Structure 1
Amino acid sequence: MSQKLQFQTLKIYPRPVTGRFNRWRVGFVAVTQLVFFLLPWLMWNGRPAVRFDFGTMRGYLFDLVLLPQDLIYLAGTLILSALGLFLWTTLAGRLWCGFSCPQTVYTQIMLWIEQVFEGPQRTRRLRDAGPWTPEKILRKTASQGAMAVFALWTGLTLVGYFSPMRPMVARLAEGMLGPWETGFALGYAAFTWLLAGHLREAVCKHMCPYARFQGVMYDRDTLHVTYDPTRGEPRGALRRSTPAAARPQGDCVDCGLCVQVCPAGIDIRQGLQYECINCGLCIDACDPVMDKTGRPRGLIRFSTQNALESGQPPLGWLQRPRALFYSGLMIVCSAVMGVGLYLHAPFKVDVLRDRAVFARENEAGEIENAYTLRIFNTRGEHRHYRVRLEGAPGVRLEGAGGFQVPADADGSFVVTVAAQPETLSSGSHPLRFVVEDAADPLRTVEAHAPFLMP
């Protein structure tokens, strides 16, 4: 019998709650959005501090300038990010989802906007269930308009990482924004408005692949939000008329607050569920109830399956082989990338042999090979470079060995290498072009090309 995938159709109205985990969530929203929205405006040595320029195929990260030859660092960053996510999931489950995921962050912002224009959670629920009135239309229009404005600014900010933000905003004010900038800004704005403003928790439940495969990284020592059934069951409301000694119930008073505040709309008392994003808001809702009833906090808490069953504290990450394995891989990957970036030369060199001519003989009877030498200067100032040859004996570089390259540009130079016929045998000989910065001779870059002797 076939089963159809059923999506959540009822809109969730999470109840606002205060507490330490909610403060952490608000803090992460503030920090991530300050970085995201302010970074494109930051200038560094006369250019954007962070920019990915597809026109010139360069990436700028403060003083670091990356070229297509540096894509290995992008691969390393992705590997490091994946390992970090694996480690974090092994240690504390979907904590990334609950505090830092863009979907969670923007959904929270959209909920704040909705609350400002449409009122508290209960009011919104009742109004949405009622008929369309002029007030409802006005509030919905204002709410969706504010969400659209925020989404548009988010889209423009994202484009600002690829096109300089200040000139782009000036062109926007003049109505002269380019088609690519307009298209990508509107596309990402629509994406943000739809996913964070409307689909919300459905993205985390049904669309996000991480929600599906993160369970394979869990084990019995993974921290996650848990309900302690040993303490809480049997649950029921407190009745003052019943003596405490005669109450056959646990600490849970079945108030339902943990369900009302959950942004995913789940009941944590039903056990571990893949929809749980480990935001901890149910803990913030439960702890004050325990205070009021005179029970110890922690009926709902971050714990592990082994800790719940044994009554012992959860294991630290140093006691968990899988966490140590991921940590070791991250240290190795970080060390390799760190050394590479430390040794990263502020210029790149490419050498391409002229394939149109196999070899030619000059007036002195020497055999010549022609090459195109391309030097990429990633510094923000004019530089002078010197070139010397290594590898094949008896070869020499004809003409000037010095080349001038403007700031933040690349220069192409046609150079000729000559050798006496008797110094080299017939065939291909490896040749190294060693390029050094005249002002910093310790910085050298090598490029390899063959020298062909007929």
Structure 2
Amino acid sequence: MNQIPVKDVTPKSKNGDGSGDLYAKREHIYVKYYKGFFKNLRTISGIIMLIMFYGFSWIQWDGHQAILFDLPSRQFHIFAFTFWPQDFMLLSWLLIILAFTLFFVTVFAGRLWCGYACPQFVWTWFFIWAERVTEGDRNQRMRLDKAGWSLEKIARKTAKHTVWIIIAAASAIAFVGYFTPIRELVPSVLSWDLGPWESWWIGFLTVATYANAGWMREQVCIYMCPYARFQSVMFDADTLVISYDEQRGENRGKRKKNADYKAEGLGDCIDCGNCVHVCPVGIDIRNGLQYECVACGACVDACDDIMDRMGYERGLVRYTTEHALEGGETHILRPRLIAYFVALCVMFITFSYTLYSRVPLEVDIIRDRGQLYVQASNGMIENVYTLKLANKSQVDHRFNIDVSGIDGITMAGEREVLIRSGELLVHPISLQADPRFLERPNYDITFKVQAIDDPSILVSEENRFISPVKR
């Protein structure tokens, strides 16, 4: 059977007993420059993500930053929406939807997220590009590292690390700019007039980005990222993964371009090692499916280029499925994939409706529990309430407060209140009812708070009115 090969590539321990070390010393990976279709796709997706990351904080929306997580004010602005801590459930739903989306994509096409959209790898490729520009391609970098220190080596190393630090610092500033308005943050950075909070996070994120993308790179994916560990349980025989066609490629061996290699018992693999040299995590895809593989397609592009040069058919290393390698049919529509898709649709529709129907007004009514009721000098029964009104919209509104549920009930206090955008107003009121209409010890009453300038902003909340017990 022509299955996807899976081999044990665990490094042996030093004592030679066959057990693997928990942590193998990192060997520096020199990624070779290459061209290809999947690299172009990854470059486009990476550029889009970098533009979004660096650019979205500069967009203005209704007089404020389009995306701003204002922690001191406990307001989270995302374009036309403003969210408060009370909207945490919406964030939970969003994270669940994103998780199911990741599961759906993984079942269908493996680790596409890692190879084409994961920030760790977007920045890793960004740093590899800076490394190639300053130190040269793979062979040049290897010779440079082996050579003794010279003015050229110092200059190239200094240039590389300078570019890395600039990218890391720019990334840190851009990230903090989503929590402190970017149009205020950048002038503060340029004038060295930062507060302790901004200084700490910019410094920390600069060091973290410089270390993760510059030095640790694939170590983050292999040892730190949990997704690499559990994604295999979502794979099945119809999941699209990158695989080496062992039946077609073996036996490996070098040969001349026009040689009759079949007569020599060789397969299509010329054992050039290019698929290893371009891999950002340093694995040999010919050893089979490995959890370190991030499905970036680099080995596919490199192998296809060699096949073109040799005049062989492309696809020795390719995106495929285990069923396809067996010569069978790949089943795209399968129960687990359909289940994920249906669940995603239901959750997305529910979330969209909740977001669309969300009223940007929070009303919390607290009845004075210090006393059940009081009898006013005019003989009326009085209950005291505290209304907490939060205007969660991005504009000021004047609201009207009304109450119903008891015949002839009256309100003492301001019926109309002005609440600024993002303001939480504490508004005390008292309600009075004629004891002639109070036949029971308590009544359900309804408070209605409605924006005068926008009637669609309306919230109704129920509470209790306590009255004397008639004997």
The TM-score normalised by the length of structure 2 is 0.91
Partners of 1:138 and 1:294 in 2: CA distance: 42
Partners of 1:245 and 1:90 in 2: CA distance: 37
Does the Cα contact within 8 Å between 1:382 and 1:404 map onto a contact in 2? yes
Does the Cα contact within 8 Å between 1:428 and 1:452 map onto a contact in 2? yes
Q: Does 1:330 align with 2:347?
A: no
Q: Does 1:134 align with 2:148?
A: no
Q: Tell me the CA shift for residue 352 of structure 1.
A: 2.3
Q: Residues 361-381 of structure 1: CA distance to partner in whole angstroms, max 9, x if unpaired? A: 222222222222222223343
Partners of 1:84 and 1:103 in 2: CA distance: 19
Q: Does 1:53 align with 2:55?
A: no
Give the letter aligned to residue 149 of structure 1: I
Deviates more, 1:75-84 or 1:383-392: 383-392
Q: How does 1:18-417 map to 2 (within 5 A)?
A: 18-239=35-256, 243=260, 246-312=263-329, 314-316=330-332, 319-391=333-405, 395-417=409-431
Partners of 2:308 and 2:259 in 1: CA distance: 20
Deviates more, 1:50-59 or 1:416-425: 416-425
Deviates more, 1:81-90 or 1:302-311: 302-311
Partners of 1:335 and 1:369 in 2: CA distance: 42
Give the letter aligned to residue 398 of structure 2: H
Compared CA separation, residues 125 and 245, structure 1 to 2 (3 A): closer
- Partner of 2:400, secondary structure, is strand
Give the gaps of 5 or more residues in structure 1. Answer: none
Q: Tell me the CA shift for residue 242 of structure 1.
A: 5.1
Does the Cα contact within 8 Å between 1:393 and 1:424 map onto a contact in 2? no
Identity of aligned residues (%): 37
Does the Cα contact within 8 Å between 2:134 and 2:159 map onto a contact in 1? yes
- Partner of 1:310, secondary structure, is coil
Report how many aligned residue pairs link the two structures: 451
Q: Tell me the CA shift for residue 393 of structure 1.
A: 5.5
Q: Tell me the CA shift for residue 403 of structure 1.
A: 1.5
Q: Tell me the CA shift for residue 42 of structure 1.
A: 0.8
Compared CA separation, residues 345 and 370, structure 1 to 2 (3 A): same
Does the Cα contact within 8 Å between 2:60 and 2:66 map onto a contact in 1? yes
Q: Does 1:17 align with 2:31?
A: no
Q: Tell me the CA shift for residue 141 of structure 1.
A: 2.1
Q: Tell me the CA shift for residue 333 of structure 1.
A: 0.7
Q: Does 1:442 align with 2:456?
A: yes
Compared CA separation, residues 183 and 232, structure 1 to 2 (3 A): same
Does the Cα contact within 8 Å between 2:252 and 2:267 map onto a contact in 1? yes
Give the gaps of 5 or more residues in structure 2. Answer: 1-16
Partners of 1:235 and 1:46 in 2: CA distance: 64
Q: Residues 36-60 of structure 1: CA distance to partner in whole angstroms, max 9, x if unpaired? A: 0011111111100011111111111
Give the letter aligned to residue 331 of structure 2: L
Give 2:433's aligned residue.
419
Does the Cα contact within 8 Å between 2:257 and 2:310 map onto a contact in 1? no
